[in-house]
Structure 1
Amino acid sequence: MKSTPHSGPSSTEEPAAPPETEAERRRRRARFLRELAEARELRARVQPRRTKERRMREALRMRTFRI
């Protein structure tokens, strides 16, 4: 097993970046949510049967916990 001189937890970490602003965080979150929705739509087109089953299970779960 080879040992590298810089092996350790700090070698993979990036240098401390300035704290991100609230607007940057919101922008990043919005992009993530858009990509997530796009991935779900793609999955629904590619695997319609599985998606239908997931929708049915979700509906059943919602009915189960309704007050």
Structure 2
Amino acid sequence: MRDRDFHDTPSPGTDRGTGRGAKPGAVPERRPDGVAPRDPEAEREAERRRRRAQFLRDLAEARQLRDRVQPRRAKTARLRHAMRMRTFRW
């Protein structure tokens, strides 16, 4: 039994914004700058993710710099972490 007719029905990912209730030939509405309008909540979430990704990149870079300028402290931290992982019971 087939779920849908693959030749007549486009996949759900094509023509976003033209789903239920839209005309068959409808094109998603666009702003004058050519960008499709987005939900303000989705924009906030995307901006939060971008800021978080930048923060995590900066944090990793700072950790690498600290390890490079303080090799002894980095080595003891690595050994301490390895010991913690060895004694941790899975």
- TM tier, smaller: 0.5 to 0.7
Aligned-partner Cα distance in 1 for 2:66–2:89: 28
Question: Percent identity of the aligned residues?
Answer: 73
1:26 aligns with 2:49: yes
Q: Please report the TM-score for the alignment, with normalisation by the length of structure 2.
A: 0.51
Pairing 1:8-47 to 2, within 5 Å after superposition: 21-47=44-70
How well do the aligned residues superpose, as a CA RMSD in angstroms? 1.4
More helix as a share of residues: 1
Point out the structure with max Rg over C-alpha.
Answer: 2
Structure 2: tracts of 5 or more residues without a match: 1-40
1:42 is displaced (CA, Å) by 0.3
Q: Which runs of 5+ in 1 are unaligned?
A: 1-18
